[in-house]
Amino acid sequence: MILPVILSGGAGTRLWPLSREAAPKPFMILPDGGTLLGKTAARALALPGVETVVTVTNRDHYFATRDVYALLGDARTEGAPFLLEPFGRNTAPAIALAALHAESLGRPGTVMLILPADHLILDQAAFAAAVAIAVKAARSGKIATFGISPTHPETGFGYIECGEAQHDRVHPAARFVEKPQLATAQEYLASGRYVWNSGMFAFTPATVLAAFARHAPELLASARQCWQKLQAGAAAGQAALEIDGTLFKALPDISIDYAVMEGAAAQGEVVVVRGGFDWSDVGSWKAVSELVGADKDGNRGQGERVAIATRDTYVHAEDRVVATVGVQNLVIVDTPDAVLVAHRDHLQKVKEVVGELKSRGHESYRLHKTVARPWGAYTVLQEGPGFKIKRIEVKPGASLSLQLHHRRSEHWVVVRGVAEVTCGERTYAVRANESTFIPIETRHRLANTTTEALVMIEVQCGDYLGEDDIVRFDDHYGRAPAAAAAR
Amino acid sequence: MILPVILSGGAGTRLWPLSREAAPKPFMILPDGGTLLGKTAARALALPGVETVVTVTNRDHYFATRDVYALLGDARTEGAPFLLEPFGRNTAPAIALAALHAESLGRPGTVMLILPADHLILDQAAFAAAVAIAVKAARSGKIATFGISPTHPETGFGYIECGEAQHDRVHPAARFVEKPQLATAQEYLASGRYVWNSGMFAFTPATVLAAFARHAPELLASARQCWQKLQAGAAAGQAALEIDGTLFKALPDISIDYAVMEGAAAQGEVVVVRGGFDWSDVGSWKAVSELVGADKDGNRGQGERVAIATRDTYVHAEDRVVATVGVQNLVIVDTPDAVLVAHRDHLQKVKEVVGELKSRGHESYRLHKTVARPWGAYTVLQEGPGFKIKRIEVKPGASLSLQLHHRRSEHWVVVRGVAEVTCGERTYAVRANESTFIPIETRHRLANTTTEALVMIEVQCGDYLGEDDIVRFDDHYGRAPAAAAAR
């Protein structure tokens, strides 16, 4: 059995303003409408011998991840296991915990396939062929990595030095090296002996746990403690396992390359499978912009655009028109609350914008204007003194928490679907073109018991309209009674 | 008496997206919060001997113009005369009608001062000094123009060739020339004999009407017909005079320079007063961007901006953050429904964007997201299938028309102030944090009888939500029963 382990982390600050702290790179909607996370899961599920996928991600992204998987329409994602991190801790702790999970399944012959959720690979057949080779190597007790033949002296990736090919496309991994300077990258490219380190691996749980034991024994010991607490606290059949914060904090914030691979390679435990597939880690706007074709002037993009005397420019437009005049080599990304205008040669510096916004306390580093919630999403349409207007969309079958507000009342107008409203002691239906009023200090709940989406406009009135003015009495998503997150 | 005549026309398509067809250049909010129209009126009112101002503008801009004047807090603008054009017709017809109006006042010694509404002059004292010289020349029977000493070989302006100075700063105008090629403009600059044609003039009604009679007799005859119909139809004391469309159509669409000045200059009837003041016609984003100071990197702008490795770039941000990375020499203008990214050297081509949007039928060439109305303004916050959400602001004392809709009902939630709502046979007050419902096919009216602004959120529900689904029964602004404009 192949057990894909999807590592879904990484803020993607170089992809601001589409990527935000609360809606990071794996969830970003790509020009084709898909997400990197969804594509990664689909790629894994399309491999032969896959029964389920394990996902290691931040617990804040659990519901959003499930939403992405639900779009795949693949029954194997229902009830698929999750290891939920309380905060980010790099790849070594995530892989150690995933290996302990895989070991606990007690299925001999299982090969774990580690897949970061922010990679893009278009050639599924070539990918599957490389996986088959890697799985064979893994079954023979090796740690198999996937190396990508470099096409240019990239300084943004780590490299692996390959030994002489043993057979097929399999080389011993002589050495892992971190992101090089340009001159070194050029030497690597010229030598033909170096490949890009893709961050994808295949190994059995026993192999990787033995490697952890040899090269990072303390990390493994801490991971085992985490795992034991996780197992002890989990109900039978519980799919989503929340990692304990205090124990997780004891794990070092280091990568699998540094914790295990460098030492394991030196001892001949690692092989490189040269991937015969296209590969991109979609690290910056350059990679995203190249996902769509260019017109005769080299312009690319999506949405309503007007290009006058414009060349080699990428424009991402959402609900506004974006006009360019006399410019070239720009990347322009327009979102409901932030606009980026960057030169193609400076796209790595986009992350500095995020740092600056964070230091200013500006919301746009963290949240999109439309905020995803387990029950659906809300968009703040306008705020003014004493009022706030939201569009609220509730998924079929979903329900907000039973709650009350101390400082605001709410006017609800349903514009699509049917709302089941609880207000005080009454529960009643509100249909499209009907409205209701939720007085201040009144317990209320909004639910959608139908099979169609519910869309509602909420006008809040009050002297304080912060998301933290909420008292939760009951919540289907485990957020009652005093969670900090809104609703 | 000096009678300023403000010519408020000009779309300002090179200033898109701040300038729109329905909210053109004179109304654009400048970086200092003012408007070109307001500044022009204030400049006129600050001159000695001014009792009122005459405004020639499109009838669609009457209420907006009054709003701008009201902000000046000068009693002389109350009841000031307006000549309202049914459509744009260049400067010659406008000036002919203004001269007929001035003649009809029967005030000997009146000097008309023609002021286009899209000029910016900061040095009021120098302006007043030049006006005093021009008025003296006008009283002696001359047509006086204001010439600006050129600072660079501008190809975007017309020029006037000056004869030998007669006295003070007064020259005979030898020749009016249209916008030159660069080489010619360079010659003009080098010669020292040419000034920029500012488009401002001073003359008595008798002088300019005599010049029309000599150089454009047919135009004057048509203008007289217009004027006679206008006077015949006007009530005693009526300040706003609407020009008849059929008669106005007979007037040629030409400039005063072409219709009168070129011929008059050839016959020695025109003098040039060299203006000793700063002057800008704010024709493009270059001029607007220079209204604010630059930081040490040459960056200018307003609103929430993040500049990383950015130089010599102007950013106009409204309610979104605009981030720039690795760019230079750009002008970036962000508005609620459109974004412009243009290179400084191509700002004249911004008008091509407007042409393209017009040909696509895209609303953003015509309207802002917030649309001004005589009674206040509305902003479409969101539209979706079957619903539309508007924020509606009603000025103190203002009232929308008594109206009904055949295809939609409306939910109103008041968030600030008090609404007086008529719905069917009832009239009642709706206060902040209260709501009401206007059923389909029901006569209704919204009024603000208080002295504070009223802000209301309207959620429209229906199968058709166009602005043209409106039946008006009574309107305080003369738009009933069948005006095409919304509300």
Q: Cα separation of A2 and A4, whole Å?
A: 6
- pLDDT 10s digits, A161-195: 999 887 778 999 999 998 999 999 999 999 999 99
Spatial separation of the C-alpha atoms in residues B207 and B446, rounded to whole Å:
50
For residue B372, the model assigns a pLDDT of: 87
DSSP B143-156: EEEEEE--SS--SS
B80/B174 same-domain check: yes
Query: Using CB atoms within 10 A of its CB, is residue A176 exposed (0-12), middle (13-18) or buried (19+)?
Result: buried
Task: Write out chain B residues lying below 8 Å of A435, CB-based.
Answer: 411, 435, 437, 459
Q: Which residues of B1-33 are buried (b: 16+ CB within 10 A; e: fewer)?
A: ebbbbbbbbbbbbbbbbbbbebbbbbbbebbee
Can you point out the beta strands (E) in B264-407?
270-275, 300-302, 305-308, 314-316, 321-325, 330-334, 338-343, 370-373, 376-384, 387-394, 402-404
Residue A254 has pLDDT above 50, yes or no: yes
Shared domain for A303 and A182, answered yes or no, is no
| B101 lies in the same domain as B188 | yes
Least CB-CB distance to B386: which of A345, A352, A416?
A: A416
CA distance A387 to chain B (A): 6
CB neighbour list of residue B86: distance below 8 Å, 6 or more residues apart: B58, B59, B242, B243, B244, B245, B248
- Structural domain includes residue A315: yes
Contact A341 B320 (CB under 8 A): no
Whole-model pTM: value is 0.88
**Which residues in chain B have their CB less than 8 angstroms from residue A301's CB?**
none
Q: Are B158 and B281 in contact (CB under 8 A)?
A: no
pLDDT at B31: 83
B202 in the same domain as B305: no
How many angstroms away from the CA of B375 is the closest CA of chain A? 20
Question: For residue A309, which residues of chain B lie inside 8 Å, CB to CB?
Answer: 346, 349
The Cα of B36 is separated from the nearest Cα of chain A by a number of Å equal to: 25
pLDDT at A156: 84
Encode pLDDT of B210-235 as tens digits.
Answer: 999 999 999 999 999 999 999 988 88
Give the single-character DSSP code of A257: I
Q: Is the same domain home to B333 and B382? A: no
Q: Do A387 and B332 touch (CB under 8 A)?
A: no
Using a 10 angstrom Cβ sphere, with 0-12 exposed, 13-18 middle and 19 or more buried, the burial of residue B484 is exposed
Which runs of consecutive H residues, i.e. helices, occur in B350-399? Answer: 350-360
- The whole-angstrom separation of Cα B212 and Cα A150 is 78
Each residue's pLDDT, cut to its tens digit, for chain B (487 residues) gives 999 999 998 778 999 999 998 889 999 988 888 999 999 999 999 999 999 999 999 998 999 999 999 999 999 999 999 999 999 899 999 999 999 999 999 998 999 999 999 999 989 999 999 999 999 999 999 999 999 999 999 988 899 999 988 777 899 999 999 899 999 999 999 999 999 999 999 999 999 999 999 999 999 999 999 999 999 888 888 889 999 999 999 999 999 999 999 999 999 999 999 988 989 888 889 989 988 999 999 999 999 999 999 999 999 999 899 999 999 999 999 999 999 999 999 999 999 999 999 999 998 888 888 988 889 999 999 988 899 999 999 999 999 999 999 999 999 999 999 999 999 999 999 999 999 999 999 999 999 999 999 999 999 999 999 989 999 998 888 765 444 344 4
Tell me the C-alpha distance between A293 and A301, whole Å: 8
Domain-located, residue B244: yes
Least CA distance to A416: which residue of chain B?
A: B386
Q: From B295, B316, B350, give the residue that closes a domain.
A: B350
Q: What is the Cα Rg of chain A in Å?
A: 25
What's residue B464's pLDDT?
Answer: 94
Q: How far is CA B478 from CA B315, B397, B402, B473, in A?
A: 40, 16, 12, 11
Q: How many domains does chain B have?
A: 3
Nearest residue of B to residue A431, measured between CA atoms: B461
Query: Which of residues 311 through 370 in chain A touch B, CB cutoff 8 A?
Result: 317, 320-327, 330, 332, 334, 336-343, 345-347, 349-350, 352-353, 356-357, 362, 364
Give the sign of the dihedral formed by CA A307, CA A310, CA A312, CA A313.
Answer: negative
DSSP state of B133: H
Is A341 in contact with B353 (Cβ distance < 8 A)?
A: no
Q: How far is CA B247 from CA A175, B241, B484, in A?
A: 88, 14, 22
What residues of chain A lie within 8 A of the CB of B382, using their CB?
379, 381, 391
| Higher-pLDDT residue of A99, B12 | A99
Residues 148-167 in B contacting A (C-alpha not used; CB under 8 Å): none
User: Quick one: closest CA in B to A462, which residue?
Assistant: B433
Residue of B nearest to A380 (CA): B381
Interface membership of B453 toward A (CB under 8 Å) = no
Residue A278 Cα, gap to closest chain B Cα (Å): 29
* Size of the A and B interface in Cβ pairs below 8 Å: 197
Q: Residue A251 maps to which CATH number? A: 3.90.550.10
Domain-located, residue B171: yes
pLDDT of A487 above 70: no
The residue with tokens 């003009």 is B188
Range A303-307 average pLDDT: 96
How far apart CA B190 and CA B182 sit, in angstroms, is: 12
d(C-alpha B382, C-alpha B387), whole Å: 8
Per-position DSSP letters for A173-209, written without gaps between them: EEEEE-SPPHHHHHHHHHHS-EEEEEEEEEE-HHHHH
**Chain B residue with minimal CA distance to A435?**
B411
Residues of B in contact with A463 (CB under 8 A): none
The whole-number pLDDT of residue B480 equals 56
User: Are residue A41 and residue A92 in the same domain, yes or no?
Assistant: yes
Q: Closest chain A residue to B321 measured between Cα atoms? A: A338
Residues A208 and A295 placed together within one structural domain of the fold: no
Q: How many CA atoms lie within 13 A of B111 on its CB side?
A: 27
Q: How far is CA B271 from the centre of its chain?
A: 28
> Of B24, B324, B27, B25, which is closest to residue A338 (Cα–Cα)?
B324
Q: How far A308 CA lies from chain B's nearest CA (Å)?
A: 7
SS3 content of chain A, % helix, strand, coil (to 5): 30, 35, 40
**Do A243 and A181 share a domain, yes or no?**
yes
Residues A338-354 pLDDT 10s: 999 999 999 999 999 99
- Give contacts of A 277-316 with B, CB under 8 A: 304, 306, 308-309
* Minimum distance, in Å, between the CA of residue A135 and any CA atom of chain B: 44
Q: For position B486, what pLDDT does the model report?
A: 41
CATH number of the domain within which A450 lies: 2.60.120.10
Q: Same domain for A266 and A290?
A: no
State how far residue A176 is from chain B, nearest Cα, in angstroms.
33
φ, ψ (nearest 5 deg) of residue B469: -85, 75
* Chain A residues within 8 A of B356 when measuring between CB atoms: 306, 308
CA dihedral B118, B119, B120, B126 (to 10 degrees): -150
- Residue B361 belongs to a domain: no
Residues of B in contact with A432 (CB under 8 A): 386, 461
Q: Smallest Cα–Cα separation from A38: which of A19, A25, A22?
A: A25
Q: What residue has token string 């229906």? A: B462
Nearest CA to CA, how far is B117 from chain A (Å)? 27
Say if strands B370-373 and A387-394 run parallel, antiparallel, or are unpaired: unpaired
Domain end position, chosen among A274, A307, A341: A274
User: What are the pLDDT digits (tens) for A377-411?
Assistant: 999 999 888 999 999 999 999 999 999 999 999 99
**What are the tokens at A306?**
């007007």
Is A225 found in the same domain as A124? yes
In a domain, B279, yes or no: no
Same domain, B390 and B418: yes
Q: How far away is chain A from the Cα of B34, in angstroms, using its nearest Cα? A: 23
Nearest chain A residue (CA) to B380: A381
What is the pLDDT, as a whole number, of residue A33? 86
What whole-number distance in Å separates Cα of residue A109 and Cα of residue A113? 13
Q: Is B140 left (phi over 0), alpha (psi -120 to 50) or beta?
A: alpha
Give the span between the Cα atoms of A223 and A248, in whole angstroms: 8
**Cβ neighbours of B415 in A, within 8 Å:** 384, 386-387, 459, 461
Residue B104: name the closest of B242, B232, B243 by CA. B232
Determine contact, residues B414/B424, Cβ cutoff 8 Å: no
Q: What is the pLDDT of residue A280?
A: 87
Of the candidates B264, B266, B6, the residue with the CA atom closest to the CA atom of residue B143: B264
B349 contacts on A by Cβ (under 8 Å)? 308-309, 325-326
Are the C-beta atoms of B56 and B97 separated by less than 8 Å?
yes
Q: How confident is the model at residue A475 (pLDDT cuts 50, 70, 90)?
A: confident
Q: Burial of B471 by CB count in 10 Å (0-12 exposed, 13-18 middle, 19+ buried)?
A: middle
Domain membership of residue A293 as a residue range: 285-350
B342 vs A contacts (CB less than 8 Å)? 323-327
User: Residue B435 is nearest to which of A330, A334, A437, comparing CB atoms?
Assistant: A437
Q: Which residues of A touch B413 (CB under 8 A)?
A: 411, 413, 459, 461
Question: CB–CB of A6/A55 below 8 Å?
Answer: yes
Contact A325 B343 (CB under 8 A): yes
Instruction: Kindly state the average pLDDT of the residues A273-299.
Output: 91
| One domain, residues B103 and B209 | yes
Residue B479 pLDDT: 66
H-assigned helices in A106-195? 124-139, 182-191
Set of chain A residues whose Cβ sits within 8 Å of the Cβ of B417: none
Residue B484 lies in a domain: no
Q: Is residue B356 part of a domain?
A: no
Residue A324 identity (one-letter amino acid): T
CA atoms within 13 A on the CB side of A102: 33
Q: Could you say which of A318, A350, A382 is where a domain stops?
A: A350
B contact residues 3-22, partner A, Cβ 8 Å cutoff = 16-17
Q: pLDDT band at residue A31, thresholds of 50, 70 and 90?
A: confident
State the nearest Cα–Cα gap between B57 and chain A, in angstroms. Answer: 29
Which of B13, B306, B367, B418 to probe by mutation at the A interface, max A CB count within 10 Å?
B306
Percent of chain A with pLDDT over 90: 81
For an interface test with B, the pick among A286, A325, A333, A368 (most B C-beta atoms closer than 10 Å) comes out as: A325
Give phi and psi for A157, each to the nearest 5. Answer: -115, 155
Name the residue among A483, A451, A480 with its Cα closest to residue A467. Answer: A483
B323:A345 CB<8 A: no
| Average pLDDT of every residue of chain A | 93
Which residue is listed with tokens 């004027």? Answer: B227
Task: Tell me whether residue B117 is in a domain.
Answer: yes
* 3-state SS, residue A70: helix
Tally Cβ neighbours within 10 Å of residue B232. Answer: 7
With beta carbons under 8 A apart, name residues in chain A contacting B364. 321
Alpha-carbon distance of B21 to B64, in angstroms, equals: 13
